[in-house]
Amino acid sequence: MSESEPEKKVPFWKNPFLIAFFIGAFFLTVLPFAQRSFLKAPPPVMQLTSSAFDGKVVLLTAETGPCPDDCVKRQTDFGTAVRHVDDLGNITVVTLVSPEARQVIEPLATSPLWKLSDASPALLSELEDALNKFLPPPGAHFAETHAIVLIDQNNAVRGFWPGDGAGRGNSINAARLLAKEGPQP
């Protein structure tokens, strides 16, 4: 090839960037539909006798004693779940509190989706039983774990997650799935 001959231009439809764009667009379009067959909410662990949360998906944690700085941090982090579920309207974030903890946590719960409820011994006992089914003894004690509990629309406990960033994220994703798809996804 001599220097005076112009380069042959590749047709635009053979451009590797254009081909990659169309392949990416195809997969991004198909992916949400393919994911539905793989995404499942955790199965029910135990049915609660209380009907306090009927019809709502609930992310719940408990603070049953005084609320020092680590409790405030834990609850502040837990409360961020509201920002990730407020678009659905059927998810409630609940903290079961003792009277000592209520005074400290109440100013943190500024969203109408974040409810504070008394830590009744009956509900705590049921959640302890559910945790023992989920994590066989010798497991942890529910009130001491500060775990996040997911309760579905039918008042069934669906699982427990640690209160760390990954646990909060996974519990929020499971709650969103239950809220969108119902208790039988």
Distances (CA, A) of 79 to 32, 39, 82, 148, 149: 28, 25, 6, 11, 14
Strands in 46-47's sheet, in edge-to-edge order, are: 46-47, 156-161, 148-151, 57-63, 91-97, 114-118
| pLDDT tens digits, 175-185 | 999 998 888 75
- Does residue 128 contact residue 120 with C-beta atoms inside 8 Å? no
Q: For residue 78, what are its two tokens? A: 């837990």
E strand intervals along the chain: 46-47, 57-63, 91-97, 114-118, 148-151, 156-161
Model confidence band, residue 135 (pLDDT cutoffs 50, 70, 90):
confident
Model confidence band, residue 159 (pLDDT cutoffs 50, 70, 90):
very high
Which of 35-49, 69-83, 127-141, 171-185 is most confident? Answer: 69-83
Model confidence band, residue 3 (pLDDT cutoffs 50, 70, 90):
low
Q: Please state, rounded to an integer, the average pLDDT across all residues of the chain.
A: 87
| List of domains in the chain | 46-181 (3.40.30.10)
How many angstroms separate the CA atoms of 73 and 24, rounded? 41
| pLDDT tens digits, 85-116 | 999 889 999 999 999 999 999 999 999 999 99
* Average pLDDT over every residue of 47-53: 85
pLDDT at residue 1 greater than cutoff 60: no
* Average pLDDT over every residue of 119-146: 85
